[in-house]
Amino acid sequence: MEKTEKILMQIGNRNPFKVPENYFIDFQRNMQRSIAAFPQPKTVIYKMRIWLSAAAAAAILLVAGGISYNYYQNNRIAENQAMYDNYVLSQIDDSNLVEYYLTAENE
């Protein structure tokens, strides 16, 4: 037999390790005390997260405002162009229009 097998035969089913009494109960208390005594880090990351979320919200508002302003300006330009075309057409006689279209077909 090997050396380890002989040792295992001598030990048998008994547990060679022992834990002090109330170890697990005391361990929890001691751990809570040591955690409470440890200085807590400043919450710089939390404050930074607040500023970053505010900056992101402002950026989203600016982008959305720019897009809506651009859409508004394009619609306004199209409306102005339509009004200008209507004005120009209102200043021309029907006879001049007919003459223009007839000469444009011949060319």
Domain count, the chain: 1
Q: Is 66 or 6 the better-scoring residue by pLDDT?
A: 66
pTM: 0.39
Q: Is 91 exposed, middle or buried (0-12, 13-18, 19+ CB in 10 A)?
A: exposed
Q: For residue range 7-49, list pLDDT tens digits in order.
A: 877 777 777 678 888 888 888 888 888 887 777 766 677 778 8
Q: How far is CA 55 from CA 49, 61, 66, 67, 69, in A?
A: 10, 10, 16, 18, 21
| Class of residue 9 by CB neighbours under 10 A (exposed 0-12, middle 13-18, buried 19+) | exposed
The parent domain of residue 91 ranges over 3-106
* pLDDT tens readout for residues 39-90: 776 667 777 888 899 999 999 999 999 999 999 998 888 888 888 888 888 8
